Every structure is written in structure tokens, then in C-alpha cells.
Amino acid sequence: MFPTLVSGAATALLLGGNLVAAIDLKIDDTSSIKSVAATLAYDMMTYYHGNQTGGIPGVLPGPPPNPPNGYYWWEAGAMWGSLIDYWHYTGDSSYNDVVEAGIQWQVGEHYDMMPSNWSQSMGNDDQGFWGLTAMTAAETNFQNPPSSQPSWLSLAQAVFNTQATRLAIETICGGGLRWQVYQYLTGYDYKNSIANGCFFNLGARLARYTNNATYADRAEETWNWISNVGLMDANYNIYDGAHIETNCTDINKIQFSYNMGVWLLGAANMYNYTNGSAIWEQRVNSLLNATFNVFFPDNIAYEVACETKLTCTTDMFSFKSYLTRWLAQTTFLAPWTRALIMPKLRASAIAAAKQCSGGTNGRTCGLSWSKGTAWDGTQGVGQQMAAMSVIFTNLLPLQAVGAPLTNATGGTSSGNPNAGSQSVANPEAIKPATQGDRVGAGILTTLMLVSATGMFGWMSI
């Protein structure tokens, strides 16, 4: 472990002084891509304090307004997913122990990715992102936790099962998951594409991984729902959501890149699972065309809803990370797409590296990849994660990167079809976390992460 630490993250630290500032990416050089990705991963992890004494493992500072520029719970789960892919593409395992510990700390009392500490902001999409990260861990054979802790596959199954239970009682708008889990949360009356997209994506990937048709059936039902309700139009544009008070007729037509990514990857998994179904091939192609038309002007990924005037929320700064990684994963499952996707990822990576030119270190990443070296003045976990992600995906043409595994092709994570069955069904039974709970979690940090803190504590200096 220590040699890997030195060669990866510690190398980034050594390059992190004022002697090396602006990012210099050679897009056709494997070593350059890995070095740049390592530097950006290091810079991203300076925002994480959960591996320090008194910190809460698995989460980023926040949520807003404490601190005002803090992060919601879901983005930490998404960040761990990006670091699993970082390891999978680059082979650098420097952060793997921190990733494993962080995810396991947040699995919740019932191993369903619904810790009661976060019940006051628990969305189906929030839980869904942690489930997608667990699924990625299973598909890449990420280091398995001890048998006393829930497996990656069982966590993904728990998220799917708990959401399927909620979905089963939905009749308004003809079905569909609500944005929020609990009725006392703002947004419980809203049904959106990302919550349902996470469920669809997870179902498609579980179907492929386990060869269980039940998951595929639910994924197909969710596809039919989003099409019928109008959140996906005839041209495969995907809109944000609608309110149940109008029977979901007041469609909010704002478009976000992660919606395209999550539905595209799900469709690619369904194509793969069905051994090349013509209908799923057509859906993959149509989603890909819509993605390119809306989100890749001049071949460079662009967050159309907010990038022009930089009106993005903290969440939105991270969306291009998921879009680009899910595009890359699509190329394994629907192989004809690689020739179409890789030129976009190549151009976007070159542009993203140029935008990593700001901050006190001279290499902080902004969102506005199309602006070249003129840093846009924004910074944060999302911007670092997005640039890191699109850059390491460009290893695909240069070296062997393993395709997503299944339990028939070498996946080692053990499953539990009944995972999540102990989840609390009644939201009134969920007690919001007290300050004492949070302090207690902080005190236990040292007990759980003593070795990881000793090895990785320098990352947050």
C-alpha cells in the first residue's frame, strides 16, 4: 500500500507546491493523463475532512448554510464513485481505504443508504447516487469490505428495493418516484427525472450483473413512465420534473447533463442485458444524439442550464463528472458508441485541463471548459471532480480498462436479494440527528479510521 501511496497521491503532493502550477496535459500520453488525474484528485480531496479527528467519515463539509458553501450529503457519495472509477482507470489505489471507510460509515442503521442523520434532506436521488456508487464498486471489483459489513452489491440492492417499495404505492401521475423520500420535506410533491433515472439506471445494471429479469422489468416500467408522462420528449430531451398537483403536466423544461448521462447508461445496460435488442439500440442512439446536440457545443461538454452566466448551484458544478464518466462506461456496453463518444471526451479533457488554471496554486479548476485558460473564478469539489473524470476517461484508447463485471464474468461482491427489508417504512419513526449524535460520530472517527488517518491525514492539510 505504501509504495502505491507514494507513486500516486504523494506524487501529486510533491507536485502541489508553487513550482508546478498550471496543468500540462498531453492527451495521447498515458503517464501524463495519470499524473494530471492524480493532481486533480489530490486537490479535490483537500475539501474532505472526514478522515481527521473530529470529522464525520464519508461526508463533505455542510450542508448549506453551515458553511454557506458546503455540500449536501449526496455529493460525497458521488465523489466516492468518481474515486472508484479513478482507481479503476489509473490503477492508483491511494484513496481506496478512505473511500471504503467513507461509504461504509454512511450505509445507515439498516444498511440501505439512508442514515437517519440525513433524514431532513433525504431525496430518492440522494439515496440513488450512493446506490450507484455501490454498484460501481461491485462492477469494478473494488476492494470488498469485511464480511461483518454490507457488501457493495447488497447495498445497491437495498437502495433499489427500498425505492421499489415506495414506487409500488405511487398512483398520481401514473407512477414515478417523488423527488423527496419523506412527506415533510419540501419537494415531496415533485417527481423528477434524476430520482427516476437513478432507479432506472440501478435496475438496468442490477439486471445485467445478476441476470435477474425482475430488475429489468422494473427498469422497463420506469422508462415507459418517463416517456408517457412527458419528462422525456419525442426527441429524447430529458426535462427536470413536474408537480403532482397538476398531475405532472407543469413540466419544468430545464435540462441538466446528468439526466442524459444516467438514462443513457441505463439504456446501454438494457441493450447489453437483452443481447442487442433493436429497441434498446435505437434508444441508446437517440439519447446519445440528444446529449451531443444539447450538451456538447463545439464538442466540449457544457452545462447549458447555468454555465453561460455561472448561475450554477453547488450541485450543478459536479454534473459534468457524471455525464463524462457515464458516457465512457456506455462505450463498454454498446461498443459502436466508442467511435462517437471518444472524440467528445478527448476535446472536453483538453479544454478542462486548460480551465484548471486558477486559484492560489495556479491549477484550480473552473466549470467553463470552453473558455480555455481564462479561469472562470469558480472552484470546489464539483469542478475538480468533473475535470478529473473527463481526463482519466481518455485512458480508454491508450490502455486496457476492464469492462463492468457481472457475477458471471468475475464480479466478487456477494448479493442479498432481500437487502433493505429492515428499512423503516414510516417516516415518522425517523428521528432527525441531534448535535450530540454528530459529535458522537466525530469522536468515533479516530476509532474507525486510525490507520487511514495516519496514512491519509496529510491530504487535508
pLDDT by residue, tens only, the chain of 461 residues:
223 333 455 454 444 443 346 799 999 999 999 999 999 999 999 999 999 988 999 999 998 888 888 999 999 999 999 999 999 999 999 999 999 999 999 999 999 999 999 999 999 999 999 999 999 999 999 999 999 999 999 999 999 999 999 999 999 999 999 999 999 999 999 999 999 999 999 999 999 999 999 999 999 999 999 999 999 999 999 999 999 999 999 999 999 999 999 999 999 999 999 999 999 999 999 999 999 999 999 999 999 999 999 999 999 999 999 999 999 999 999 999 999 999 999 999 999 999 999 999 999 999 999 999 999 999 999 999 999 999 999 999 999 999 999 999 999 999 999 999 888 654 444 444 444 333 333 333 323 333 333 322 322 22
Residues 6+ apart with CB under 8 A from 367: 303, 307, 310, 312, 317, 320, 355, 376, 378, 382, 383, 386
The secondary structure of 161-227, three-state, reads HHHHHHHHCCCHHHCCCCCECCCCCCCCCEEEHHHHHHHHHHHHHHHHHHCCHHHHHHHHHHHHHHH
Strand pairing class (364-365; 190-192): unpaired
pLDDT of 344: 98
Residue 192: what residue type? Answer: N
Chain centre distance of CA 10: 25
pLDDT of 425: 58
pLDDT of 429: 44
Strand pairing class (356-358; 241-243): unpaired
pLDDT of 8: 56
Answer left, alpha or beta for residue 365, where phi above 0 means left and psi between -120 and 50 means alpha: beta
- Rounded CA gap, 1 and 40, in Å? 21
Contact in structure between 416 and 151 (CB atoms under 8 Å): yes
Contact in structure between 206 and 260 (CB atoms under 8 Å): no
Crossing angle (nearest 10°) for helices 124-139 and 152-168: 150
Number of residues that make up the chain: 461
pLDDT of 17: 40
- Kindly report the pTM of this predicted structure: 0.89
Q: Name the residue among 5, 24, 75, 22 with its Cα closest to residue 47.
A: 75
pLDDT of 424: 62
b/e sequence 255-273, b meaning 16+ C-beta within 10 Å: bbbbbbbbbbbbbbbbbbb
Q: Cα angle vertex 69, ends 65, 72, to 5°?
A: 70
b/e sequence 134-151, b meaning 16+ C-beta within 10 Å: bbbbbbbebebbeeeebb
